[in-house]
Chain A
Amino acid sequence: MRQKLLILYLQNSALDSPVVGWTRYDGDTVAPPVSGDEDEPPYATGLDALRDGWRAIQFSALEPQPGELNYQPGWQSFEVIMEKIVETPR
């Protein structure tokens, strides 16, 4: 069995908010991950990914970010890590 990861960055902390960034890591291929080649997110919202069989395994914590009280923006605030397990042999 191998793990496929889909990491979504959302517009706010709700899982049904729009996807504003995305990352893939695929344990089922030897092809290297690639930055910046995709124009459209794989799902419109995080909830859409859940409905397509991705399992959420981690959410970013809901807490103040360092620097926020000095009006310094952080990076992506709302990250959801999702997985699928595949059984296909490589």
Chain B
Amino acid sequence: MKQLGTGEMIRFVRDGFLKLEGLLPGDLCDAFRAAYVADCTDDRSGRARLPVVPWGTPLTDAFDGNDVLSRVFSLPELAGAIHSLLGPKCKVDHHVMHIREPNQGVSQHLHCDAMIDAREAAFDVQIMIYPQNMTREMGGTLVIPGSHTRKAGETSIARYQNLAGQVQLTGPAGTVLILHHNLWHAGRRNASNSVRAMYKMRLNPTGSQTGHWDMSDYDAAKARAPKPLHSPATCKHDVQAKLSFFHPWADARSAHLDIIQRTRLWRLLSGDEDFSVHHFLSRLENEPA
């Protein structure tokens, strides 16, 4: 498998998602569409095609070895990304197919999947797979970069129609999104003449999520070294500078709190409990006896 590198992990912690463009090769996209999309006209018919996988099934046991989905989840880049974020032996939560007919006028409301998640650190990931070319007109998934730090339940955020910096998924067939489970997202309206299909699987960790990525180029001491705001990078991956980013949709009050939450997530993934983005969290932890 091919684990994520430090730069990709920083992007995941900052944005709450990774996009792997055209990851599935053409023959696998063809096989995927033939097995699970062809002749499906709505969500119900699409979902009826999928194999039944009870929640709690180890991902490695979820599919028959000949199943297209087994080939998909064996791709080294996808298997490595899942391993990097969840650790070994992750389990299936659920999987589902979304089919959108052409020329629809209706979009989904912005939402998080499932109820408010009170876990402090552990997180699930959602894998979204698009087996056909995705143009903007086709209305692929809308995601709000960085919103994974804002705990919300279901469609409680539905009133937000447009947020600055929002991303409308486009890409070649075989593109994959990997989402933190709490990322705000919505299916946009399909204004094209083509059917749009998206397969989604949610996966749960079963153990520590610390240190499973390729840390060969990560220097923890340099990454955590105190540095002033806006100062030049002191190591290859300037984690502090990249995680202190303000997403354009975030109001100033909450944008600072996002940095605290990203710091906590980086501590979980790197195992470095002394890491702080600048002095934002370490300052708040200073309670001298």
Contact = CB atoms under 8 A, between A and B. Distances in A.
A31 B248 contact: no
Interface residues of B, number: 38
Contacts of A78: 251, 253
B206 interface: no
A81 to B, nearest CB: 10
Contacts of B161: 22-24, 33-36, 38
Nearest to B168: A36
Contact of A37 (B152, B189, B249, B258): B189
Given A11-B251, A12-B252, A34-B189, A21 B105 contact: no
Do most interface residues of chain B lie in helix, strand or loop, or is the interface mixed? loop
Interface string A13-33: 000000111111000000111
A31 B109 CA distance: 15
A10 interface: yes
B143 to A, nearest CB: 9
Nearest to A79: B159
A77 B253 contact: yes
Do most interface residues of chain A lie in helix, strand or loop, or is the interface mixed? loop
A38 B107 CA distance: 13
B151 interface: yes
Which residue among A9, A22, A38, A78 has the maximum number of chain B CB atoms within 10 Å of its CB? A9
A10 B253 CA distance: 11
Given A7-B159, A9-B251, A20-B251, A35 B260 contact: no
B110 interface: yes
B108 interface: yes
B166 interface: yes
A37 B189 CA distance: 9
Nearest to B142: A36
A38 B189 CA distance: 12
A12 B253 CA distance: 7
B261 A73 contact: yes
Nearest to B184: A75
B286 to A, nearest CB: 14
A21 B247 CA distance: 12
Contact of B163 (A20, A37, A72): A20
Interface in B250-289: 250-255, 257-258, 260-261, 281, 284
Contacts of A35: 107-110, 142, 161-162, 186, 188
A36 B110 contact: yes
A12 B256 CA distance: 13
Contacts of A9: 160, 163, 249, 251
Contacts of B255: 73
Interface of A: 7, 9-12, 19-24, 31-38, 41, 68, 71-78
Interface of B: 105-110, 142, 149-152, 156-157, 159-164, 166, 168, 186, 188-189, 248-255, 257-258, 260-261, 281, 284
